[in-house]
């Protein structure tokens, strides 16, 4: 008998495989997330340092919440509730925030949580040079009023401060451990879980067990909590589909595979994507100084079609950079620039650029498809997009150095002052040419001193940058957070991954 070469080759490859599978025998089919009291989450990266002052935002905040309580709790819908602080209020001119603190909380090393401990944390946060140090930039100092009361004294009003105290700046570590080497690798907090260091491996998995006598049993829903680090998207998909993790973040394309395996989606709009027309004074590209040119760019895009084709429809077309949850969002700005190539050409003509405009943008890894689609749509109205070298890991420095006049990016949609200082104000990294007008400055100042009305006042800032076409937003995109049927997940506003409190065993 003569075997065909194809069959024989297949046999060769297979026999090599079976040499090993033979020794494997009956393997466990990945039942890491077995009992209902255990939760395993797939995360994109490991925590760099467990020092609470090194915590970040969004999915880099989640693991910290397992071991550290925050002064204020942010509910899934964004409402701020008591946590370590039972009550808080501003003075009349919003320059002093007084917090009443709980008296029944201890840290996992036995230290007691009190006003001195809270002050020690704030002092540490302000000098530790963490990625979110700016959260307390407006805080001059903290004074201890009595054992369970502290004052935050502000150098300037900051409507986002209460929100920040539910984020990195509000994480409370044991005063005995703050600043030590030990806390970098083993967290010491008052939170619902404690780290099981023996079972944890850096960059692979971090295991937590429920803390005995935790003061708030409502926030402690599992006996064991594991963060499995899965940097690679394919690995995350495989781990979820095969039951190794209960929940993780994917993207629209891999999400299809997860849906095929009956995983559930907890979608949430967190970022916006589109063009940032940075050189609005025309320092390097005079065409961009003309508002009509910038508006023409906005009219050139068929946002809905791009969203459907590139993102499989996972998102919402929009013309405004501020997020729906920020309070600065407004219905009238949502479709301010509808798809109208004729109008775009007309505006270019009125701006005396009917012979064409050339924009230079850097290539952005991960957004190749989007950039090629917008290149085509801009070409249709007479605007040439020249795509240059790709952004590298020094892109923030490059942006600050005014290297780019226009970029395509996906950016987080934060609270009004956070978003303003990210993309609009003269301090913003994404306003490298420091564009501003007295009119805009006045609107921003109103937001800063606006207190509880900050969101509403920020609508004016939003309106200004939309009318002036500072950006050409395309859409808000869905974060594709998937989970299996063993767990209920509530999405958290403005976070790609939910807060750790938002998971509960499915009945």
Partner 1 sequence: MIRFIAKRLGSGLVVLFVVSALTFFLLYISSGSIARNILGDQATAEQVAMKEHELGLDQPLVLRYFAWLADALSGNLGASWFTSEPVANSLATRIPVTMTMVFAAMILIAFCAALIGVIAAVRRGWVDRVVQVGAIIGDSIPGFVIGVILVTVLAIQLGLFPATSTISPESGPDAWLYSMSLPVIALLVNGVTGGAQQIRSAVIKQLERDYVRTLRSRGIGEREILFKHVLRSAAPAGLTVLSLQLIGMLGGVVIIEQIFALPGMGPLAVAATGQSDLPVVMGVVMYTVVVVIVVNLLVDIINGWLNPKVRVS
Chain contacts with partner 1 (rule: CB under 8 A): 2-3, 5-6, 8-9, 11-13, 16-17, 19-21, 23-24, 26-30, 32, 45, 48-49, 56, 129-134, 137, 184-185, 198-205, 207, 228-232, 234-235, 238-239, 241-242, 244, 392-394, 396-398, 400, 421-422, 427, 429
**Residues contacting residue 331 through CB under 8 Å, at least 6 positions apart:** none
- Residue 256 phi, psi (nearest 5): -60, -40
Query: Cβ closer to partner 1: 30 or 313?
Result: 30
Helix (H, G, I), strand (E, B) or coil at 225: strand
Query: Cβ closer to partner 1: 236 or 292?
Result: 236
Closest separation in Å from C-beta 380 to partner 1: 33
Cα three-residue angle 168-170-175, rounded to 5 degrees:
105
Cα three-residue angle 218-223-228, rounded to 5 degrees:
110
Closest separation in Å from C-beta 162 to partner 1: 18
Query: Cβ closer to partner 1: 49 or 468?
Result: 49
Nearest CA among 278, 314, 311, 321 for reference residue 413: 321
Query: Cβ closer to partner 1: 379 or 429?
Result: 429
Query: Cβ closer to partner 1: 114 or 251?
Result: 251
Query: Cβ closer to partner 1: 245 or 466?
Result: 245
Closest separation in Å from C-beta 20 to partner 1: 5
Number of Cβ within 10 Å of residue 354's Cβ equals 13
Whether residue 482 contacts residue 41, with contact meaning beta carbons closer than 8 Å, is answered with no
Closest separation in Å from C-beta 184 to partner 1: 5
Closest separation in Å from C-beta 91 to partner 1: 27
Q: Which residues of 319-339 are buried (b: 16+ CB within 10 A; e: fewer)?
A: bbbbbbbbbbbbeebeebbeb
- Quote the longest CA-to-CA distance of the chain: 96
Query: Cβ closer to partner 1: 38 or 118?
Result: 38
Closest separation in Å from C-beta 185 to partner 1: 7
Could you write out the three-class secondary structure of 286-314? Answer: HHHHCHHHHHHHHHCCCHHHHHHHHCCCC
Closest separation in Å from C-beta 137 to partner 1: 8
Q: Give the strand pairing for 224-229 and 205-210.
A: antiparallel
């Amino acid at each position: 008998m003569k075997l065909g070469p194809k069959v024989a080759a297949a046999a060769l490859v297979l026999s090599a495989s079976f040499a090993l599978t033979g020794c494997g025998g009956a393997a466990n089919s990945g039942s890491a997330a077995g009992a209902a009291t255990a939760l395993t989450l797939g995360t994109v990266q490991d925590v760099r340092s467990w020092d609470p002052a090194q915590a970040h935002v969004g999915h880099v905040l989640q693991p910290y919440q397992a071991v550290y309580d925050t002064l204020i709790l942010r509910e899934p819908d964004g409402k701020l509730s008591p946590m370590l602080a039972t009550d808080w209020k501003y003075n009349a001119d919003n320059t002093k925030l007084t917090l009443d603190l709980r008296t029944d909380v201890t840290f996992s090393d036995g230290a007691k949580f009190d006003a001195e401990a809270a002050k020690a944390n704030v002092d540490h946060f302000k000098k530790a040079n963490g990625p979110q140090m700016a959260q307390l930039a407006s805080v001059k100092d903290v004074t201890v009023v009595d054992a369970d009361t502290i004052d935050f004294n502000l150098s300037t009003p900051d409507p986002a401060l209460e929100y920040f105290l539910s984020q990195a700046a509000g994480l409370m570590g044991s005063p005995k451990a703050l600043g030590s080497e030990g806390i970098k690798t083993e967290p010491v907090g008052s939170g619902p879980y404690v780290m099981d260091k023996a079972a944890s491996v850096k960059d692979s998995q971090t295991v937590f067990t429920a803390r005995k006598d935790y003061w708030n049993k409502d926030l402690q829903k599992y006996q064991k909590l594991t963060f499995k680090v899965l940097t690679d998207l394919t690995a995350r998909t495989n781990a979820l589909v095969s039951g190794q993790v209960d929940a993780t973040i994917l993207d629209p394309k891999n999400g299809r595979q997860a849906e095929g395996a009956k995983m559930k989606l907890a979608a949430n709009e967190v970022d916006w994507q589109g063009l940032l027309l940075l050189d609005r004074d025309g320092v390097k590209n005079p065409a961009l100084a003309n508002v009509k040119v910038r508006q023409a760019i906005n009219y050139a895009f068929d946002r809905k079609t791009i969203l459907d084709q590139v993102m499989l429809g996972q998102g919402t077309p929009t013309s405004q950079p501020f997020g729906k949850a920020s309070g600065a969002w407004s219905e009238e700005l949502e479709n301010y620039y509808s798809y109208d190539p004729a109008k775009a050409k007309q505006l270019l003509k009125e701006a005396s650029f009917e012979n064409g405009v050339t924009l230079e943008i850097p290539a952005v890894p991960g957004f190749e498809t989007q950039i090629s689609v917008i290149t085509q749509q801009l070409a249709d109205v007479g605007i040439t997009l020249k795509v240059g070298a790709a952004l590298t890991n020094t892109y923030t420095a490059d942006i600050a150095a005014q290297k780019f006049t226009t970029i395509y990016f996906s950016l987080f949609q934060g609270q009004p002052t956070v978003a303003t200082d990210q993309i609009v104000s003269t301090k913003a990294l994404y306003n490298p040419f420091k564009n501003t007008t007295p009119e805009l400055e006045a609107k921003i100042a109103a937001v800063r001193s606006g207190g509880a009305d900050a969101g509403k006042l920020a609508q004016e800032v939003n309106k200004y940058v939309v009318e002036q076409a500072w950006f050409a937003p395309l859409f808000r995109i869905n974060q594709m957070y998937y989970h299996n049927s063993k767990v209920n997940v509530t999405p958290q506003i403005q976070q790609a991954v939910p807060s750790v409190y938002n998971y509960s065993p499915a009945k």
